[in-house]
Structure 1
Amino acid sequence: MQEELNIDQNTLVQAWQQQLPQFLEPGDSAQVLADENDPQGIRVSINAAGRQFYSFDFYCTYMDPREVKVELVDLERDGETVNEQNDRLQELTGDYVRHLHECAQSLHRITNPS
């Protein structure tokens, strides 16, 4: 049986918005929004530091109070969708996915307060 995440979505979004910058590179910025279709989901947009103007959009949904599933939804460079298949972009995407998982881990105190 899958445990439900027992936390208000707005509280979750605020916690992510406060915590996530600690896991990103200096100069990176992020915006966290509630997913209107999934009360256990959030949308995270990360703007990578540097001159490349890369923007990564992720969908994160809680599988249970301890585990988050992260999916890359869109990757843009200077407002244009790009193919994430090159090695550098796959490496960057992997880094951000890892940072999102680390952020989720750090929020266990509010997502799994037992």
Structure 2
Amino acid sequence: MSDSLQIDQGTLVNAWQQQLPEYLNAGDSARVLADQGDPQGLRIHINAAGHQFYSFDFACSYLDSREVRVSLVDVERGGDHIDESGEIVQEMARDYSRHLHECAQALHRITDT
């Protein structure tokens, strides 16, 4: 029996789009898209709530039916690319990465069949 992901990408995107808001901070918004270069991957864009106008782009790839790898791709502030090494940005990125892992765990009901 293979432990590879047995769900189509469109269904996965829709499931994430519905589930993810439950794991984000109040006022945050997210957009989940299929990763065109990875049939088992997603691209997730998160707009952080508040007056800082931060947005984060993550790549989320399923390693198998239960485990995901989350990578920070880009951070913007007010539409401009910014240095991702600042402490505030790193803390926010870690927080969002944790939320993405929590969302993936909640979706085991559809990915781990």
TM-score, normalised via structure 1 length: 0.96
1:19-98 equivalences in 2 (<5 Å): 19-98=19-98
**Are residue 100 (structure 1) and residue 94 (structure 2) matched?**
no
How many residue pairs were aligned? Answer: 112
* Unmatched segments (≥5 aa) in structure 1: none
Instruction: Give the residue type in structure 1 aligned to 2:98.
Output: R
Instruction: Give the residue type in structure 1 aligned to 2:15.
Output: A
CA offset digits 1:40-93 (Å, max 9, x no partner) = 000000000001110100000000000000000000001100011111111100
Instruction: Give the residue type in structure 2 aligned to 1:50.
Output: G
- Matched with 1:110 is 110
2: CA distance between counterparts of 1:104 and 1:14?
13
2: CA distance between counterparts of 1:80 and 1:10?
30
Percent identity, please: 63
2: CA distance between counterparts of 1:38 and 1:4?
14
* Unmatched segments (≥5 aa) in structure 2: none
Provide the alpha-carbon RMSD of the alignment: 0.9
Structure 1 range deviating more: 84-93 or 10-19? 84-93
Shift of 1:37: 1.4
Runs of 4+ in 1 over 4 A off after TM superposition: none
2: CA distance between counterparts of 1:107 and 1:17?
11
